[in-house]
């Protein structure tokens, strides 16, 4: 069941095309006051717009067996393979929908890592918002471990608490996770 | 305009430019006589083409140029004025060429003045008169012998990679189109897509060429490495190379760089002996390392040969025993070929003590791993005292991989074809092939045991212990280095060329996947890395144990037999049914191929037929869906001599040559003899007899009289190839003969002595134990057996072989394998007997 806010958000939801067009223009300006917002479950999250290459609607995901639960799989972005992060799992946000609902259509926020692209798999994409640096409040201190690492500010906007996050700690987190799993696996089998 | 003429204009314009450049250089500096040769050969080529295209004016001019050049070449006098005249000739020719381009034929014109000047120059050359003055101002040109420079340009490799990537995308998009349009021959887009297909394929081929670099990029470094090595160790070595112009993809070149240098270092350090030792061994003091590079069927072969001490197999043997890799008893029987394997063992190569084995030691394991990573292989041949040859086989490019797609727990994966040697299907008929030791499942494959890997459980997928209960599934027999193992999967789908994409640094770290690919429908699938799987299950130890079991069980005769089969190359026709899997049938069984219009096919009761010449050709669809779609129906016509039938297939692809090494493991589908790896592709080989019977359900009634007669004839079929026996036996049985099999001469004699006295023996020549010739001689010598008819059926085609066979006592000598011919020969021999 979707909440009233979700429905409102869905009505107002800009098309991915709009965002993509805007983000290209904005990236050129490299305005670091602008954020692309999205929802993971109920959580309203923003990432700096210059980190985002584009936003995609639902994609066919190829699962990667034996990887971390933080990885939803890989997708084909115009011939390039992009690793998809399961944001629910990564940010420890419980799915509102029944667990394992494979029919659910997620959206993909494509972010640029140092050498490759990653996709944040999110429930819905919101507006691009402008927030001045000084009006960002520091995050609370009692957050979960990975939140402490990645969240660098919060802001109240349209009756929503927006958490601004940095992609890099998340990428590192997943990388370490896979490395640990691999090592564990090798020790177990030997 | 004729295409040929167009081509001529393009190439000749280029050649004229080159001629002009060379002539200008020659005009400035008449001493550069070596240019004359080049100019001569170019002019000669142009003249030849002109003659072919009947361009008289041009031919005449170039004829004169050629004679003049010939004179200059044979008796260089260094006259620059001749070069000037020739330049005028070239300019004149260019004008004619322009006219040709505009009008499509040679323009009218008068060349007499030019020809006269050329003749004059000719006589001047002939008189050896030197007249070096020239009234023309000389254009100053930079010496530029290689016009190549002007025709090539530098491009950033990154740009090139991007272009190639895009082309890869284009290919996939093209595939998507082709897949969608496949069954729709009326589509308005058909011709556009066909054009797209053509252009894309060409574009792909051409763009891949841009990344090719010649192997000399590596080889050029070798002289200094060898010089350094020689200095350090006081050795003398010469380097010989051939094929340095062989081109390989840049990525491949990078990948083989280190392993290749390693091999060379090994040859210097361990291969070539010190000068004194060499002289003592009656070899020249100076050692030789020869490098060879050449193409071989989609691969590049690199050979490094040294004339050094070779591998000391005794020490390898001792080391292997010490390391418990082989039992002392087995070691005594092991061939050099088997011992070489141990050099690639990781423990073997890194150990200090072994590095002083006179042959190869250190790091061969690393070399092997690196080469295998890019889908290549390494072979070592060595003769003690004479030298060692290392043969490296590498793919032309890494971007495109031939892969087998399969599914496990509902998900599709790909695996490189090069790492799969065989496919086995397991169902209720051959479940007994499976066994287990503790928790490890084992497949009994012919005479060996293979450990099995449960892919769904290794990958931690949902259905972990799935194959315990699954009724039928497939086993991919994979190999990593010398380790062979089976991977259990749900189903095998297809073999295809795929474009390999990096799957991202995170996914790569997992270790099971070497990349990903995008299928024609846009789906992404992962490429399984067999080495990664092997790592995980730590099979190395397990499989060694099993190998030991092999050694104990292995029948050495069986091995020789395998080798004999190995040598038999056959031509196969590759076709597809509606499921798109490549199917094959031996070309020798096919009467011909036809393409007929759909309307001509008539239904007849439950079957189909075609009015064909003056008779009726019954048609059998290869599978239910082969009939749909195409307005043109490809048909393979089989004939058994008396009757013929057409097999309707979806598409006929290709004729390939390959070794038939069939795995007729039970549980195969009707109409299929088994699966064989042909040119690295797993293909089903179909059974013609099955389809013949479908076309003629009343087969036996029609042939009753003949068959009745044949029933009285007993035939013994002797052939070392199990496949071949299975192929021929049913054929003979269908026409009524009573047939028994034997795998070699010895077994045949045993059979005859026990209870089976045949009227006729069909025998192969090359067989283990007692070969065909020996068998024939024995039979001819025995008074009781002398009247048995003997037919030799062999792949040896030489006249000498034939003579030998006839001398040994064979009545007929047939080359494998024409069914009609064989039945004819049998009939002839038997009827003969009846008459007598």
pLDDT in tens, B656-678: 777 666 654 444 567 777 777 77
Q: Of B502, B506, B523, which is closest to A62 when you measure between CB atoms? A: B523
Q: pLDDT tens, B564-599?
A: 333 446 677 888 777 667 788 877 677 777 777 777
pLDDT bucket at B143, cuts 50 / 70 / 90 = very low
Question: Which chain B residues have a beta carbon less than 8 Å from that of A116?
Answer: 504-505
pLDDT the model gives residue B78: 54
pLDDT bucket at A16, cuts 50 / 70 / 90 = low
pLDDT bucket at B396, cuts 50 / 70 / 90 = confident
The shortest C-alpha distance from B519 to chain A (Å) reads: 10
pLDDT bucket at B439, cuts 50 / 70 / 90 = low
Q: Which chain A residue is nearest to residue B462, measuring alpha carbons?
A: A65
Query: Going by DSSP bridges, is the β-strand pair A52-56/A107-112 parallel, antiparallel, or unpaired?
Result: antiparallel
| pLDDT at A27 exceeding the cut of 70 | no
Q: How far apart are CA B67 and CA B85, in angstroms?
A: 13
Residue-range domain boundaries for chain A? 4-189
Mean pLDDT of chain B: 75
A187 touches chain B (CB under 8 A): no
B528 touches chain A (CB under 8 A): no
| Pairwise CB contact (< 8 Å): A189 & B523 | no
Q: How far apart are CA A44 and CA A162, in angstroms?
A: 5
| Pairwise CB contact (< 8 Å): B510 & A63 | no
Q: Of A67, A81, A190, which is closest to B510 when you measure between CB atoms? A: A67
| Pairwise CB contact (< 8 Å): B501 & A116 | no
Average pLDDT over residues A136-164: 85
The shortest C-alpha distance from A20 to chain B (Å) reads: 22
Question: Which chain A residues have a beta carbon less than 8 Å from that of B501?
Answer: 79-81
pLDDT the model gives residue B669: 65
| Pairwise CB contact (< 8 Å): B513 & A64 | yes
| pLDDT at B328 exceeding the cut of 70 | yes
Average pLDDT over residues B653-658: 73
What is the assigned CATH class of domain B704-835?
alpha beta
Q: Of B169, B512, B516, which is closest to A78 when you measure between CB atoms? A: B169
Average pLDDT over residues B510-521: 83
Choose the most confident range, by mean pLDDT, from A60-64, A93-97, B126-130: A60-64
* Topology alike, domains B216-395 and B402-510+523-554: no
Question: Which chain B residues have a beta carbon less than 8 Å from that of A178?
Answer: 506-507, 509-510
Q: What DSSP character marks residue B233?
A: H
Which of B424, B442, B468 has its CA nearest to residue B666?
A: B424
B474 touches chain A (CB under 8 A): no
pLDDT bucket at B174, cuts 50 / 70 / 90 = confident
| pLDDT at B563 exceeding the cut of 50 | no
Q: How far apart are CA B542 and CA B262, in angstroms?
A: 30
Q: pLDDT tens, B597-616?
A: 777 777 776 678 887 766 77
| pLDDT at B542 exceeding the cut of 50 | no
| pLDDT at A164 exceeding the cut of 50 | yes
Q: Of A76, A79, A83, which is closest to B507 when you measure between CB atoms? A: A83
pLDDT the model gives residue B424: 87
Q: Of B168, B459, B501, which is closest to A65 when you measure between CB atoms? A: B459
Mapped onto helix, strand or coil, the DSSP state of residue A64 is: coil
**In the sheet where B483-489 sits, what is the strand order?**
B420-426, B473-480, B483-489, B448-454, B440-445, B434-437
| pLDDT at B526 exceeding the cut of 90 | yes
Q: How far apart are CA B65 and CA B122, in angstroms?
A: 9
Question: Which chain A residues have a beta carbon less than 8 Å from that of B458?
Answer: 66
Q: pLDDT tens, B447-459?
A: 777 888 888 878 8
| pLDDT at B84 exceeding the cut of 50 | yes
The shortest C-alpha distance from B510 to chain A (Å) reads: 6
Size of interface A-B (CB pairs under 8 A): 87
Contact B637, B630 (CB under 8 A): no
CATH of A4-189, one of 3.10.580.10, 2.40.50.100, 1.20.1260.10, 2.40.50.180: 2.40.50.180
Q: Which chain A residue is nearest to residue B525, measuring alpha carbons?
A: A62
Residue-range domain boundaries for chain B? 3-151, 166-210, 216-395, 402-510+523-554, 565-695, 704-835
Q: What percent of chain A has pLDDT over 90?
A: 19
Q: pLDDT tens, A96-135?
A: 654 555 567 889 999 988 888 999 999 999 988 888 888 8
SS3 helix, strand, coil % of chain B, rounded to 5?
Answer: 45, 25, 30
Which of B626, B642, B638, B653 has its CA nearest to residue B694?
A: B638
Average pLDDT over residues B721-739: 74
A72 touches chain B (CB under 8 A): no
Q: pLDDT tens, A28-79?
A: 444 578 899 999 988 899 999 888 988 988 888 999 988 888 899 999 887 7
pLDDT the model gives residue B383: 82
| Pairwise CB contact (< 8 Å): B461 & A71 | no
Question: Which chain B residues have a beta carbon less than 8 Å from that of A168?
Answer: none
pLDDT the model gives residue A185: 65
The hierarchical CATH code for the domain B216-395 is: 3.30.565.10
The hierarchical CATH code for the domain B402-510+523-554 is: 2.40.50.180
Which of A34, A72, A73 has its CA nearest to residue A50?
A: A34
Report the phi/psi class of residue B482: left, alpha or beta, with left for phi > 0 and alpha for psi in -120 to 50: alpha
Q: Which of B510, B529, B542 to mutate to test the interface with A (most CBs of A within 10 A)?
A: B510
Question: Which chain A residues have a beta carbon less than 8 Å from that of B512?
Answer: 65-66
Cα–chain center distance at B422: 17
Lowest mean pLDDT among A161-170, B38-47, B526-535: B38-47
| Pairwise CB contact (< 8 Å): B503 & A81 | yes
Q: Which of B522, B524, B536, B537 to mutate to test the interface with A (most CBs of A within 10 A)?
A: B524
The shortest C-alpha distance from B428 to chain A (Å) reads: 29
| pLDDT at A20 exceeding the cut of 80 | no
Q: What percent of chain B has pLDDT over 70?
A: 79
Question: Which chain B residues have a beta carbon less than 8 Å from that of A62?
Answer: 411, 516, 523-526
| Pairwise CB contact (< 8 Å): B505 & A115 | yes
Question: Which chain A residues have a beta carbon less than 8 Å from that of B518?
Answer: 76, 79
Q: pLDDT tens, B329-347?
A: 777 777 776 777 777 765 5
Q: How far apart are CA A66 and CA B511, in angstroms?
A: 10
| Pairwise CB contact (< 8 Å): B411 & A65 | yes
- Residue B798, C-beta contacts closer than 8 angstroms, at least 6 positions apart: none
Contact B304, B389 (CB under 8 A): yes
| Pairwise CB contact (< 8 Å): A190 & B516 | no
State the fold for domain B3-151. 1.20.120
The shortest C-alpha distance from B537 to chain A (Å) reads: 7
Residues 399-438 of B with CB under 8 A from A: 411
pLDDT the model gives residue B348: 56
| pLDDT at B99 exceeding the cut of 80 | yes
| Pairwise CB contact (< 8 Å): B522 & A182 | no
Supply φ then ψ for residue B288, to 5 degrees.
-125, 135
- Residue B95, C-beta contacts closer than 8 angstroms, at least 6 positions apart: none
**CATH 3.40.30.10 for domain B565-695:** no
What interface predicted TM-score (ipTM) does this complex get?
Answer: 0.78
The shortest C-alpha distance from A76 to chain B (Å) reads: 6
Q: pLDDT tens, B223-281?
A: 878 888 888 788 888 888 888 888 888 878 888 888 888 888 888 887 888 888 888 88
Element (H, E) at B7: helix B3-28
| pLDDT at B76 exceeding the cut of 70 | no
Question: Which chain B residues have a beta carbon less than 8 Å from that of A76?
Answer: 518, 522-524
Q: Of A62, A116, A186, which is closest to B505 when you measure between CB atoms? A: A116
| pLDDT at B379 exceeding the cut of 80 | yes
């Amino acid at each position: 069941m979707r909440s009233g806010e979700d429905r409102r958000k869905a009505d107002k939801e800009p098309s991915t095309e709009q965002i993509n067009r805007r983000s290209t223009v904005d990236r050129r300006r490299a305005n670091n006051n602008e954020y692309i917002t999205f929802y993971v479950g109920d959580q309203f999250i923003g990432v700096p717009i210059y980190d985002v290459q584009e936003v995609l609607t639902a994609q066919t995901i190829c699962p990667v067996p034996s990887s971390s639960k933080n990885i939803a799989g890989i997708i084909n972005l115009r011939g390039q393979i992009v690793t998809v992060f399961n944001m629910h799992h990564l940010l420890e946000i419980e799915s509102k929908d029944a667990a394992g609902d494979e029919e659910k259509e997620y959206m993909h926020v494509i972010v640029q890592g140092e050498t490759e692209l990653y996709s944040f798999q999110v429930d819905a994409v919101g507006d691009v918002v402008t927030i001045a640096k000084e009006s960002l409040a520091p995050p609370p201190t009692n957050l979960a471990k990975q939140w402490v690492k990645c969240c660098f500010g919060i802001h109240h906007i349209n009756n929503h608490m927006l958490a601004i996050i940095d992609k890099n700690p998340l990428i590192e987190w997943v990388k370490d996770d896979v490395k640990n799993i691999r090592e564990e696996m090798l020790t177990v089998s030997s | 305009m004729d295409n040929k003429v167009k081509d001529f204009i393009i190439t000749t314009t280029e050649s004229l430019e080159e001629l002009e450049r060379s002539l200008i250089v020659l005009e400035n500096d008449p001493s550069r006589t070596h240019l004359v040769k080049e100019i001569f050969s170019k002019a000669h080529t142009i003249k030849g083409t002109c003659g072919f295209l009947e361009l008289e004016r041009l031919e005449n001019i170039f004829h004169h140029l050629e004679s003049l050049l010939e004179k200059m070449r044979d008796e260089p006098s260094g006259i620059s004025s001749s070069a000037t005249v020739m330049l005028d000739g070239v300019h004149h020719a260019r004008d004619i060429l322009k006219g040709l381009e505009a009008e499509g034929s040679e323009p009218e014109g008068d060349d007499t003045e030019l020809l006269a000047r050329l003749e004059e120059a000719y006589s001047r050359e002939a008189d050896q008169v030197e007249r070096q003055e020239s009234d023309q101002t000389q254009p100053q040109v930079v010496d530029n012998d290689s016009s190549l420079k002007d025709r090539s340009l530098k491009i950033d490799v990154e740009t090139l990679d991007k272009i190639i990537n895009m082309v890869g995308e284009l290919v996939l998009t093209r595939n998507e189109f082709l897949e969608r349009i496949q069954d729709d021959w009326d589509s308005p887009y058909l011709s556009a897509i066909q054009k797209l297909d053509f252009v894309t394929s060409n574009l792909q081929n051409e763009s891949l060429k841009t990344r090719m670099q010649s192997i000399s990029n590596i080889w050029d470094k070798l002289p200094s490495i060898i010089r350094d090595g020689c200095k350090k160790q006081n050795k003398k070595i010469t380097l010989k190379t051939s094929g340095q112009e062989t081109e390989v993809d840049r990525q491949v070149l990078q990948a083989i760089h280190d392993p290749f240098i390693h091999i060379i270092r090994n040859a210097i350090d361990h291969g070539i002996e010190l000068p004194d030792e060499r002289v003592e061994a009656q070899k020249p003091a100076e050692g030789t390392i020869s490098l060879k590079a050449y193409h071989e069927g989609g691969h590049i072969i690199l050979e490094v040969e040294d004339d050094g001490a070779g591998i000391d197999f005794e020490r390898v043997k001792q080391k292997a025993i010490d390391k418990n890799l082989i039992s002392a008893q087995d070691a005594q029987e092991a061939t050099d070929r088997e011992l070489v394997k141990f050099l690639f063992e990781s423990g073997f190569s890194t150990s200090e003590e072994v590095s002083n084995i006179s042959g190869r030691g250190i790091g061969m394991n690393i070399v092997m791993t690196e080469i295998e990573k890019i889908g290549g292989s390494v072979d070592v041949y060595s003769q003690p005292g004479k030298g060692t040859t290392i043969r490296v086989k590498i793919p032309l490019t890494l971007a495109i991989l031939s892969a087998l797609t399969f599914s496990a727990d509902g998900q599709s994966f790909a695996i490189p074809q090069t790492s799969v040697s065989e496919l086995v299907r397991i169902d209720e008929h051959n479940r007994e092939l499976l066994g287990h030791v503790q928790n490890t499942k084992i497949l009994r494959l012919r005479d060996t045991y293979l450990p099995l890997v449960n892919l769904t459980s290794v990958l931690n997928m949902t259905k972990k212990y799935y194959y315990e209960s699954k009724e039928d599934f497939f086993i991919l027999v994979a190999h990593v280095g010398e380790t062979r193992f089976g991977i259990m999967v749900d189903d095998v789908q297809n073999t295809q060329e795929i474009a390999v994409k990096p799957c991202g640094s995170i996914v790569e770290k997992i270790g099971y996947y070497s990349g990903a690919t995008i299928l024609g429908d846009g789906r992404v699938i992962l490429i399984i890395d067999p080495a990664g799987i092997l790592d995980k299950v730590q099979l190395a130890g397990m499989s060694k144990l099993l190998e030991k079991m092999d050694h104990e069980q292995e029948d050495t005769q069986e091995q020789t037999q395998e080798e004999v089969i190995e040598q038999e190359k056959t031509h196969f026709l590759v076709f597809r049914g509606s499921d798109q899997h490549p199917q094959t049938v031996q070309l020798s069984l096919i009467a011909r191929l036809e393409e007929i219009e759909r309307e001509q096919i008539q239904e007849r009761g439950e079957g189909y037929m075609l009015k064909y010449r003056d008779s009726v050709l019954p048609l059998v669809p290869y599978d239910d869906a082969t009939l749909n779609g195409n307005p043109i129906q490809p048909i393979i016509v089989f004939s058994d001599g008396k009757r013929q039938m057409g097999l309707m297939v979806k598409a006929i692809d290709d004729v390939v040559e390959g070794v038939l090494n069939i795995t007729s493991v039970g549980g195969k589908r009707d109409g299929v003899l088994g699966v064989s790896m042909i040119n690295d592709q797993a293909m089903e080989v179909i059974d013609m007899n099955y389809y013949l019977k479908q076309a003629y359900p009343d087969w036996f009634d029609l042939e009753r009289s003949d068959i009745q007669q044949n029933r009285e004839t007993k035939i013994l079929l002797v052939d070392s190839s199990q496949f071949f026996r299975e192929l021929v036996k049913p054929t003979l049985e269908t026409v009524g003969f009573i047939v028994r099999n034997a795998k070699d001469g010895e077994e045949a004699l045993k059979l005859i002595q026990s209870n089976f006295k045949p009227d006729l023996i069909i025998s192969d020549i090359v067989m283990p134990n007692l070969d065909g010739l020996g068998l024939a001689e024995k039979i001819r010598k025995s008074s009781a057996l002398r009247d048995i008819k003997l037919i030799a059926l062999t792949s040896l085609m030489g006249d000498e072989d034939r003579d030998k066979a006839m001398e040994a006592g064979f009545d007929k000598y047939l080359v494998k394998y024409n069914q009609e011919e064989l039945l004819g020969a049998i009939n002839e021999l038997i009827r003969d007997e009846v008459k007598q």
